[in-house]
Amino acid sequence: MPITAVDTRALHRVSCGLAELDRVLGGGLVPGSLVLVSGDPGIGKSTLLLQASMQIANAGGVVLYVSAEESPEQIRSRAVRLGPLSDHLLLLAETSLQAIVDQAERLRPQALVIDSIQTIASEELESPPGSLSQVREVAVRLMALAKGKGVTTLVIGHITKDGSIAGPKALEHLVDAVVFMEGEEHQIHRLLRTRKNRFGPTPEFGVLEMTEAGLRELANPSEVFLAQRPSGASGSVVIPILEGSRPLLVELQALVAVPGAPIPRRVFNGLDSGRGALLLAVLEKRLGLHVSACDVYVNVVGGVKVEETAADLGLAAAVLSSAKNLPLDPGLTVFGEIGLAGEVRAVPMAEQRLQEAARLGLSHCLLPQHNLDRAQPAFSSLKITGLRNLEDLARELEPRCKT
């Protein structure tokens, strides 16, 4: 077929009624796609997809919500808190893959929700629900349904720590898109991020909050993430991270402490521990900071998981501040990658990070000089300083540290 003859109308997307979920999907659900929504148990996956189902149903589309985890009574009692009920939302309590596929083929719903893949099983296989072979079989069969009959399908998959049960990892290559739901159970923020999306431009990122009436959009995520920052405490610094195309300011905290045991402890919460260990070694070697004999705890506040090397400089600043017990200027923000020689390396999308820092009223940003060599952005309220190496960072922080 000539490429010019390909019909792109099939890509008309269906809104889930939740702007943040639409955003991470690349602008809504693509008809006939299979999306995996995964996250820790209790994080809010069922709530998210029930809300989306109710919105689609209230907009006139038929949704088949299959739950093997909760009874229809439980789902209804939860749903009444989330919004108005619609006859278009159909509940099915079923664990048999064949029965679910039969119903979906008969009803041809605008969306099919499976809660969860770990509880559904094919009668043709002997292995128990949740086993690798079952999870794969269910995914392959649902993909055939999505592609063959155009049934848009959303599948919940729990992230399981127990290696004997197949986690969503095994499914990633079988589905069109994977949306991760993250956060800490006892905090209100929930983050959505796509790690894979055949129909979306970039890895996208959304922020929600869990309320009494379900998940709600957050108008200004950076403000919320910084709301509880301690004032005048050492080891705390604001870092501008990029999630997909969206900048977000978060607080990074470090605590360098006298070791409590013969072997010093290293805890990295929200950051890769290998990267963290590497950066501590670079700080020790290049700045002579004796952290190898100390306990070091690092935390990204709000349950955000930072995967960018642009956070390196923030970690270095927080560790320096804690080790010297000198609070940093609360208006300071830092970003940049650190190399093994202690050099500060350029990172992508510096401009967007600076814009977010300026928007939130921060006063000073330390960033890689190499980023400034490419472009010299100017902000009236935000002072910008380029760094070439860790010595530059230490020098810049000294006068910013308040004694």
What is the C-alpha to C-alpha distance for residues 214 and 50, in angstroms, rounded to an integer? 10
- Asked if 28 is part of the footprint of ligand TYD (rule: CB under 6 A), the reply reads no
46 vs 197, beta carbon nearer Mg ion: 46
- 44 scored as a contact of ligand TYD (CB under 6 A): yes
CB of 67 to Mg ion, least distance (A): 8
Q: Is the dihedral of CA 236, 241, 243, 245 positive or negative?
A: positive
| CB-CB contact of 335 with 353 (8 Å) | yes
Residue of this chain nearest to ligand TYD (CB atom): 46
Please, which residue, 100 or 215, has the CB nearer to ligand TYD? 215
Considering the complex, state which of residue 45 and residue 189 has its C-beta at the smaller distance from Mg ion.
45
Reading the block at residue 162, the tokens are 């127990």
- 83 vs 339 by CB, closer to Mg ion: 83
Q: Torsions phi, psi of 171, nearest 5?
A: -100, -15
- Provide the minimum distance between the beta carbon of 335 and ligand TYD in the complex, in angstroms, as a whole number: 32
Q: Which does 23 bind (CB under 5 to 8 A by kind): ligand TYD, Mg ion, none?
A: none
Count CA within 13 A, CB hemisphere, residue 387.
31
Phi, psi of 192 (to 5 degrees): -115, 130
- Site mask, ligand TYD, residues 63-102, x = CB under 6 A? ---------------x--x---------------------
Which of 27, 31, 41, 83 is in the footprint of ligand TYD by CB under 6 A? Answer: 41
Closest to ligand TYD by CB, 147 vs 216, is 216
Whether 67 contacts 91, CB under 8 Å: yes
Asked if residue 7 binds ligand TYD (CB under 6 A), the reply is: no
Q: Is 212 buried (19+), middle (13-18) or exposed (0-12) by CB count in 10 A?
A: exposed
In the bound complex, what is the minimum distance in angstroms from residue 175's beta carbon to ligand TYD? 18
Tokens of 362: 């921060």
* Window contacting ligand TYD (CB under 6 A); options: 86-94, 191-199, 209-217, 314-322: 209-217
Stretch that binds Mg ion, among 41-49, 267-275, 315-323, 389-397 (CB under 5 A): 41-49
H/E/C letters for each residue in 86-155?
CCCEEEECCCEHHHHHHHHHHHCCCEEEEECHHHCECCCCCCCCCCHHHHHHHHHHHHHHHHHHCCEEEE
Any contact of residue 167 with ligand TYD (CB under 6 A)?
no
Among 214, 270, 303, 327, binds ligand TYD (CB under 6 A): 214
Given candidates 33, 46, 118, 152, which one binds Mg ion under the rule CB under 5 A?
46
Q: Please list every residue from 59 through 98 that binds Mg ion, using CB under 5 A.
A: none
The DSSP secondary structure of 252-318, one letter per residue, reads EEEEEE--SSSSPPEEEESS-HHHHHHHHHHHHHHH----TTSEEEEEETTS-----GGGHHHHHHH
User: 51 and 84 in contact (C-beta within 8 Å)?
Assistant: no
**Closest distance between Mg ion and the C-beta of residue 35, in Å?**
16
Q: Which residues pair with 114 in a beta bridge?
A: 66, 155
Q: What is the Cα–Cα distance from 75 to 63, expressed in whole angstroms? A: 14
Q: Smallest distance from the beta carbon of 156 to ligand TYD, in angstroms?
A: 7
| Binding residues for ligand TYD (CB under 6 A) | 39, 41-47, 78, 81, 210, 212-214
